[in-house]
């Protein structure tokens, strides 16, 4: 038996809808500015050239239904409602024809963001980690497995704060579809089972404060909820 200096972190998992089996998380890739209207609200013109990515640590995963404390060192804590693709098989150099073969299922995700820190980093041409990759910043609903090769490529993606609609779009508006993202991302990485891809958020991002309740849904994928607690 291996002796560790301290107890290693527990395996991070995501629930699978209708199953007691858990999905163990490997890496979290997030696509930046993948809806034109969101790129515009961020003051950047969207282009179809190439997707770009940032990552979050697997330990940032939080299940839907949680209450998370308002995070430190921000005054502009934002929600971003996203479709998440959960990879179930190795994928490398996928083609459009094979890209979705390795997708096990889909979930709703919230790419929680310290927007002030992200924008400050962007202005200084520094990495986004402080704005994006922080504790409890990757909220996810149970994964819905793909059945009969049916992948969500159209359907409503929407988010409400305290019941008021803030984001509402259609998956067909993705600049780079899940398929196209996997083709591109799998050129640079050997995608592995357990990898999650947050595919980007539509327009309407905004700030939340302690006491706010976020709800969201993606048609045919499910619903997600998050409550914002007091800072700790
Ligand atoms: Mn995002």
Ligand 1 mean position to 31 CA, how many Å?
A: 6
- Output the six-digit token pair for 148: 């009969």
Q: How far does the centroid of ligand 1 lie from the alpha carbon of residue 91, in Å? A: 22
The pairing of strands 138-140 and 61-63 is: parallel
pLDDT value of position 70: 98
pLDDT at 48: 75
| Lowest-pLDDT choice from 5-9, 36-40, 60-64, 80-84 | 36-40
What is the CA(5)–ligand 1 centre distance, in A? 36
Q: Which residues contact 138 (CB under 8 A, 6 or more apart)?
A: 28, 56, 60, 61, 62, 109, 110, 111, 112, 196, 198
Write down the pLDDT at residue 187. 98
Side-chain half-sphere of 31: how many Cα atoms within 13 Å? 34
* pLDDT score for 145: 98
Question: What does the pLDDT look like over 23-38, one tens digit per residue?
Answer: 999 999 999 999 998 8
Cα angle value 191/195/199 (rounded, 5°): 95
| Ligand 1 center to 201 CA (angstroms) | 5
- Asked if residue 1 has pLDDT above 90, the reply is no
125: pLDDT strictly greater than 90:
yes
Amino acid 90: pLDDT: 98
SS3 59: helix
pTM, two decimal places = 0.97
Residue 100's pLDDT is: 98
> What are residue 71's phi and psi, to 5 degrees?
-75, 160
Residue from 153, 214, 193 nearest 13 by CA:
193
pLDDT value at residue 46 = 75
What's the full length of the chain, in residues? 232
What's the confidence (pLDDT) of residue 92?
Answer: 97
The reply to whether CATH 3.40.50.300 applies to domain 13-229 is no
Chain centroid to Cα 50, Å, comes to 19
Element (H or E) spanning 158, and its range? strand 156-161
Ligand 1 ion: nearby residues, β-carbon < 5 Å: 80, 111, 201
Asked if residue 209 lies in contact with residue 70, where contact means CB atoms within 8 angstroms, the answer is yes
Mean pLDDT of the chain: 96
Does residue 132 carry a pLDDT above 80? yes
77/204 Cα distance (integer angstroms): 14
Residue 49 has pLDDT above 80, yes or no: no
Cβ contact 175:48 at 8 Å: yes
Span 101-126, average pLDDT? 97
> Residue range 50-58: average pLDDT?
96
How far is 96 from 94, CA to CA, in rounded Å? 7
188: tokens are 């640079």
In the chain, where the domains are located: 13-229
Q: Quick one: average pLDDT of 103-122?
A: 98
User: How many Å lie between the centroid of ligand 1 and the Cα of residue 139?
Assistant: 11
């Amino acid at each position: 038996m291996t002796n560790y200096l301290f107890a290693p972190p527990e395996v991070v998992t995501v629930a699978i809808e209708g199953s007691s089996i858990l999905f163990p998380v490997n890496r979290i890739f997030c696509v930046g500015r993948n809806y034109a209207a969101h790129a515009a609200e961020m003051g950047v013109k969207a282009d179809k050239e190439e997707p770009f990515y940032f990552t979050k640590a697997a330990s940032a995963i939080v299940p839907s239904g949680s209450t998370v404390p308002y995070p430190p060192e921000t005054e502009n804590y934002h929600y971003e409602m996203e479709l998440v693709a959960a990879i179930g098989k190795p994928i490398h150099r996928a083609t459009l024809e094979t890209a979705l073969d390795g997708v096990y299922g889909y979930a709703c995700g919230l790419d929680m963001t310290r927007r002030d820190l992200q924008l400050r980093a962007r202005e200084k041409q520094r990495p986004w980690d402080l704005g994006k990759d922080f504790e409890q910043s990757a909220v996810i609903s149970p994964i819905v497995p793909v059945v009969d090769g049916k992948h969500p490529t159209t359907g409503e993606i929407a988010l409400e704060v305290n019941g008021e609609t803030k984001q509402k779009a259609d998956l067909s508006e993705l600049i780079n579809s899940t398929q196209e993202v996997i083709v591109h991302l799998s050129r640079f990485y050997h995608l592995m089972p357990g990898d999650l891809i947050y595919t980007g958020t539509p327009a309407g991002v905004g700030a939340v404060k302690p006491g706010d309740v976020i709800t969201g849904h993606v048609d045919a994928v499910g619903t997600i909820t998050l409550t914002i607690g007091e800072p700790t």
